[in-house]
Chain A
Amino acid sequence: MQFGPHLLLAILEGLVTASILSLTAMGLSLVFGVMRVVNVAHGEAYMLGAVLAWWVTGLIAGHPAAGFVIAAIAAPLIMGALAVASDRLVLKRLNYDPDRTIVATIGLLYIAQQTTLMSFGPDARPVEPPFNQRIALPWLERTEEGWAWFYPWGLSITSYKLFVIAAAALILVAIWLIITRTRAGLLMRATQQDSETAQAFGIPVGTVYSVVFGIGAALAALGAVLVVPIQQAHYLMGGEPLLLSFIVVIIGGLGSLPGTVIAALLIGLSDGIISVFFSPTLAKIIATLLVAMVLVFRPRGLLGKAPA
């Protein structure tokens, strides 16, 4: 494939990755920003979201779109409830101590994975997309008769992937509105800035923590519902999004939501674009080192403010 179309394809694919990643990372960023804990089990919320989506769509007969819509509502709700429960049962009792939370959430990670392995099994299971047309994309090229459109071999995207990009953008705008324009958002921001003062002003910090933890998991699950018609539900699928979300949150700057989105775009796109120029594994090595170097020279991330 020529350079131009190749790059366009890499960018489009990168946008799909970035869309899912920004949702998952947004969940982690909220938890991180408000509660100041590293939730290692965040990737498992993503995995469980995908498995729940597979389960729900299997229950519902008829057009795949019906099952998909119900899954998109049910999976985040169930996952959110599970997260609230684990916050109450475990994290709260640890007083959100950073080190202990890491170990406890690693424990939760194993519990989630193994329970899924025992019930759902080890296979990767597909979910049918609600719609999925292949859309060939044109490319402009200069010929002897001047500029002309043509359809390069392989340059295409599917309607479902376009939908993922749009849906993620909508959800992100909605989150932004909730956080900046509603009372719930105000409580979250107050708790994020100074939980002790917030408590002194009568904000139920414990409840805010539980809700934030639930929303974080629900966002991961929602990302997974969107991705599962492209990829498959599998009990080990949570590792990669955890790593990437983690990176995105730090690169973006702790607790900065716009930073998180920018970083998600950056990480999602750079992986694809670098792969245009280098062999795949070398591209991965370079992309990984780049992330490290960004942090080495901007330790607080791109939009980070005062240290945590």
Chain B
Amino acid sequence: MSERLRTDALHLGVIALLVVLFLTLPTYYAGNLSRIMVLAIYAIGYNLLFGYTGLLSLGHAMFFAAGMYGYGLTAQLAGWPALPAFALGILAGAALGLVVGALALRTAGVAFMIVTLMFAQSAYLTILYFGTWTRGDEGFVVPGVARVVLGIDLSGETERFVAALILFSLVLLVSGRLVRSRLGRTLVAIRENEERTRMLGYDATRLKLIAITVSAALSGLAGAAYALLFGYVGASFAAVPYSIFPLLWVLLGGAGTTVGPLIGVFFMFYLIDTASGITLAYMLIAGLALVLLTLFAPQGIAGLVRRRVRWLP
């Protein structure tokens, strides 16, 4: 089997597994799948930049929020229907990615982390500053009409799952193709050795700019999808923790693997959910788990698998 076929087969298998889980799991766990898939889209977007291109951003919450507010505000204030508002959300993420990328890519390493962190922080404060329209930290509930797509109300459990599954499948399949493409391989080359890639005649800065824009667009898609499917828009999603989460998910799941982000989100979600059932200090357990995982599974969960299955995309 060729590599591309194997990758597609694996991804289709993952999607099929999600459907089977939805049909067999108890209500609560089946419902969680929608949220996990939306967050996994966010993680896939982050992984494209971090895992494949080697750029560690600490500001991705601004792209997530750009999508969330791009969709939410046009729906709330301008009364746009769901689909155009949703498209605008993705566009807002991509546009912000392009602008921030053009500036931030002048830096590298830790300076890049700080610059993205600072831009994200000003984006967060901007949301608060325009509280008259955004309702600041409190946020707002997305109007019901803006959650109806092609006559289907996405606030129902099954409808929400199907919508999340369609979005996630598209993103997973496309990202699988992307990382195997010429562009994807060049990005990995930049991650491994930027100087050499430049000397081979590639315009590394332009390629990195493409990577950050696509990554931001996917993050924006996830943000818009969260607002669309769960009906809430709020500034907490633009705050620092939501820039840290995708980094954690990707590192835990396995950076530079296509299924790693999904695994990471799954793992973190149930780590917190299970631990909170045992003790109210569940973040203590989460903290311990993080330390232990980095000690004993340094390449993330998918990284462990890749040691056995070397072709894992």
A281–B136 Cα gap in the complex (Å)?
Answer: 12
A301–B110 Cα gap in the complex (Å)?
Answer: 11
Answer whether A285 and B294 are a contact pair too, CB < 8 Å, given A106-B244, A114-B284.
Answer: no
Residues of B within 8 A of A239 (CB): 240
Answer whether A292 and B290 are a contact pair too, CB < 8 Å, given A281-B128, A281-B129, A285-B125.
Answer: no
Residues of B within 8 A of A118 (CB): 281, 284
Counting residue pairs across A and B whose Cβ atoms lie within 8 Å, the total is: 122
Q: Does B80 reach chain A (CB closer than 8 Å)?
A: no
Instruction: Return the contact of B295 from the options A90, A111, A113, A292 (Cβ within 8 A).
Output: A90
Instruction: Return the contact of A104 from the options B103, B107, B109, B295 (Cβ within 8 A).
Output: B295
Interface size range of chain B in the complex: 35 or more
Q: Does A108 reach chain B (CB closer than 8 Å)?
A: yes
Instruction: Return the contact of B294 from the options A107, A243, A281 (Cβ within 8 A).
Output: A107
Could you tell me the distance in whole angstroms from the C-beta of B215 to the nearest C-beta in chain A? Answer: 17
- Quick check: A111 and B118 within 8 Å, CB to CB? no
- Quick check: A247 and B290 within 8 Å, CB to CB? no
- Quick check: A295 and B111 within 8 Å, CB to CB? yes
Instruction: Return the contact of B106 from the options A93, A115, A297 (Cβ within 8 A).
Output: A297
- Quick check: B119 and A292 within 8 Å, CB to CB? yes
A297–B107 Cα gap in the complex (Å)?
Answer: 8
A2–B111 Cα gap in the complex (Å)?
Answer: 39
Q: Does A16 reach chain B (CB closer than 8 Å)?
A: no
Could you tell me the distance in whole angstroms from the C-beta of B253 to the nearest C-beta in chain A? Answer: 12
A90–B111 Cα gap in the complex (Å)?
Answer: 26
Answer whether A247 and B287 are a contact pair too, CB < 8 Å, given A281-B129, A282-B129.
Answer: no
Interface centre among B119, B284, B294 (most CB of A within 10 A): B294
A292–B118 Cα gap in the complex (Å)?
Answer: 6
A288–B118 Cα gap in the complex (Å)?
Answer: 6
Chain A residue with the shortest CB-CB distance to B244 = A106
Q: How many chain A residues have a CB neighbour from B under 8 Å? A: 45
- Quick check: A109 and B287 within 8 Å, CB to CB? yes
Chain A residue with the shortest CB-CB distance to B282 = A114
Could you tell me the distance in whole angstroms from the C-beta of A276 to the nearest C-beta in chain B? Answer: 18
Answer whether A103 and B252 are a contact pair too, CB < 8 Å, given A285-B125, A289-B122, A300-B111.
Answer: yes
Q: Interface-forming stretch among A56-64, A94-102, A162-170?
A: A94-102
A282–B110 Cα gap in the complex (Å)?
Answer: 26
Q: Does A78 reach chain B (CB closer than 8 Å)?
A: no
Answer whether A285 and B122 are a contact pair too, CB < 8 Å, given A94-B294, A100-B298, A107-B287.
Answer: yes
Q: Is the interface of B mostly helix, strand, loop or mixed?
A: helix
Residues of B within 8 A of A254 (CB): 110
- Quick check: B106 and A299 within 8 Å, CB to CB? yes
Q: Does B146 reach chain A (CB closer than 8 Å)?
A: no
Residues of B within 8 A of A108 (CB): 287, 291
Chain B residue with the shortest CB-CB distance to A297 = B106
Q: Does B181 reach chain A (CB closer than 8 Å)?
A: no
- Quick check: A106 and B290 within 8 Å, CB to CB? yes
Interface centre among A100, A104, A107, A239 (most CB of B within 10 A): A107
A97–B300 Cα gap in the complex (Å)?
Answer: 14
Answer whether A247 and B118 are a contact pair too, CB < 8 Å, given A103-B293, A103-B294, A300-B111.
Answer: yes
Residues of A within 8 A of B291 (CB): 90, 104, 107-108, 111
Q: Which 4 A-B pairs have the closest CB atoms?
A: A110-B287, A107-B290, A114-B284, A292-B118
Chain B interfacial positions (CB closer than 8 Å to A): 56, 103-104, 106-111, 113-115, 117-119, 121-122, 125-126, 128-129, 240, 244, 247-248, 251-252, 255, 281, 283-284, 286-291, 293-295, 298
Chain A interfacial positions (CB closer than 8 Å to B): 38, 90, 93-94, 97, 99-100, 102-104, 106-111, 113-115, 117-118, 239, 243, 246-247, 250-251, 254, 281-282, 284-285, 288-289, 291-293, 295-297, 299-301, 307-308
